[in-house]
Amino acid sequence: EPEVTQTPSHQVTQMGQEVILRCVPISNHLYFYWYRQILGQKVEFLVSFYNNEISEKSEIFDDQFSVERPDGSNFTLKIRSTKLEDSAMYFCASSIARQGGGNEQYFGPGTRLTVT
């Protein structure tokens, strides 16, 4: 069964450094998402992406964040200058169509980002 994959599983970085989190969505999916979960808190939406552009972003997704689909298979989340409060589990998700059609999102296993 196709799965969303994410690398690395755990990333440790120093404050102020740039990190890139990578995701490979399910191959025939067209809509892509990033969510994050700070330890002990809710899963929060960050950004949705379709047709090579951002569809919607949350207030968390400020200028320090960017997303890209560089080669038709990978979907990346870049944090330009990490802060301590960026420490969280980051989940990538994809769906075959917009949720307006009621299609479920499939999630990757997550990347645990630790900023020291």
Partner 1 sequence: AQSVAQPEDQVNVAEGNPLTVKCTYSVSGNPYLFWYVQYPNRGLQFLLKYITGDNLVKGSYGFEAEFNKSQTSFHLKKPSALVSDSALYFCAVRESLGGSSNTGKLIFGQGTTLQVKP
Contacts of 101-106 spanning 24+ positions with Cβ under 8 A? 105/31, 105/33, 106/3, 106/4, 106/26, 106/29
H helices then E strands: how many in the chain?
A: 0, 11
Q: Which is nearer to partner 1, 19 or 91 (CB)?
A: 91
Contact between 104 and partner 1 by CB under 8 A: the answer reads: yes
Q: Does 67 bind partner 1 (CB under 8 A)?
A: no
Contact with partner 1 (CB under 8 A): which of 27, 28, 41, 51? Answer: 41
- The answer to whether 102 contacts partner 1 (rule: CB under 8 A) is yes
Stretch that binds partner 1, among 13-21, 67-75, 77-85, 93-101 (CB under 8 A): 93-101
Angle at 49 between CA 45 and CA 51, to 5 degrees: 165
Q: Considering the rule CB under 8 A, would residue 114 count as an interface residue with partner 1?
A: no
